[in-house]
Structure 1
């Protein structure tokens, strides 16, 4: 399971010390649901892939991600970088996390273009930011709920509420504050969600990219299938995802992996460092 814990390490050029400044709280409360959810590398991987699938079904987000990121050329580094910035947002000291978010917002401000049908988009459009924030919270929380430990309705609501401070810093001022608000946003966005060959290309990249060691590629493909399996409708029925979910009995294997990951938190992990910073041991 240490190879999955390695997914939480910073990529080259993105060092970050979660232990400083001593005593400073994070943007997300340390005793909340989100700190537990983000500590599990197995469900983080599953939830991250599920979130990207939902984002890629939205044409403006899809164009921005596919045209302005390195998913196609270096998916491993891109995935680690995105995941590590999410860790900073959740566990990093409030002042330092805000600086990182401001830097990301500045980069995104230069991301703009048009979709294949000629619709203009910009990455910092609040409507798109709300969707990206919502899909991330849903993906990580639902993966944990399904494969690691069931979350009560109250805990699921709390996961959305706990992300509000960071969401506003990113510019996602209308991000869902509860599971019910996520359900409403999904229903409102559903008419714009559409099939794309890029969805199939993304799945192929995630299945074959050297993200985990070669001997663990079977597990990598299993976790990608788990992500497809938990994606909600109408996206799960899109042609590129149809038949790509879990096979008979595989849900039990994924659950075993996710629960094992809960028992193996390393002392150098973001959550362990952050607990030391805030005085939680």
Structure 2
């Protein structure tokens, strides 16, 4: 094997192991090799977006944006264990996305049923005394639109094959199917509806100390070996740059000048291209 191929294999394996976890190879085989009908065919936009390395930036942006809903943040703080097992949480989320995007319809429904079962048990009270329940359709709706907006924006900016307007509307419509299965009521199905729904939540969003602490943990103290912190910092900087200004201000994140943002974005292009190269097997090995 040539040195470049060895490097590609090592990097790809390391990234996959971190994102997919110890059961990654078995889950990948089950998802892609089990015969049967799927929720989404091979030509659907959701497969294009969720299969791209831009998801790394979009995922970080989604976590930061979602934290600004105090009920969502309280549920995460009390029940997710993100500090003690952040990679486990990432691996569970990435597996869910993979199963519902690429897996059989039966496996996708099983994954949704499992998440709904967990949500039904997650309830409590925020530090200010507000009750929350993870199965609340309104709260589920916020988590959904913040995630979809983040993945869409990251793909549009960093994706290898950006979609046209109808393609991104199709992506939003695809994700609506998963959202409805999870309990979201009338999820948006195009960019206009997505923008309107995001705006409708603005009055419910506010920074909390828990949200700011989560942002510091995500951006500044990731449980990573030192060699991995430089590329992670590039992903994090691009995720912050992709946030709306009001969200950055709410989380006490640094304000970037236009010149600084112009310098940050190309690093995201380079790193997502490198991740994409590492995780795509050479054509002769497919």
- 2:49–2:152: 8 Å Cα contact kept in structure 1? yes
Task: Indicate the SS of the match to 2:124.
Answer: strand
Aligned pair partner of 1:221 in 209, 233, 239? 233
* 1:33 partnered with 2:45: yes
Residues 239 and 171 (structure 1), Cα distance of their counterparts in 2 relative to 1, 3 Å cut: closer
Aligned residue for 1:53?
A: 64
Moved more, 154-163 or 144-153: 144-153
Equivalent residue runs for 1:17-96 within 5 Å: 17-22=30-35, 24-41=36-53, 43-96=54-107
Aligned pair partner of 1:161 in 155, 161, 173? 173
Partner Cα distance (2:75, 2:106) in 1 = 28
- 2:31–2:98: 8 Å Cα contact kept in structure 1? no
- 2:75–2:123: 8 Å Cα contact kept in structure 1? yes
Task: Please report the TM-score for the alignment, with normalisation by the length of structure 1.
Answer: 0.85
- 1:208–1:217: 8 Å Cα contact kept in structure 2? no
Task: Please report the TM-score for the alignment, with normalisation by the length of structure 2.
Answer: 0.84
Residues paired across the two proteins, number: 266
- 1:89–1:166: 8 Å Cα contact kept in structure 2? yes
Higher relative contact order (CA 8 A, sep 6+): 1
Note the residue ranges of structure 1 that are not aligned, 5 or more in a row: 268-280
Task: Indicate the SS of the match to 2:153.
Answer: helix
Aligned pair partner of 1:234 in 237, 241, 246? 246
Q: Deviations over 1:184-204 (max 9, x none)?
A: 111111111111222332233
Query: Which protein has the larger Cα radius of gyration, Structure 1 or Structure 2?
Result: 2
Residues 108 and 189 (structure 1), Cα distance of their counterparts in 2 relative to 1, 3 Å cut: same
RMSD of aligned Cα (Å): 2.5
- 1:18–1:93: 8 Å Cα contact kept in structure 2? yes
Partner Cα distance (2:156, 2:18) in 1 = 20
Structure 1 residue 233, shift from structure 2 partner: 4.7
Q: Deviations over 1:20-52 (max 9, x none)?
A: 432x232223212211111223x2121111111
Structure 1 residue 242, shift from structure 2 partner: 3.5
Structure with the larger helix share: 2
Aligned pair partner of 1:125 in 125, 136, 140? 136
Structure 1 residue 236, shift from structure 2 partner: 2.7
Partner Cα distance (1:12, 1:201) in 2 = 30
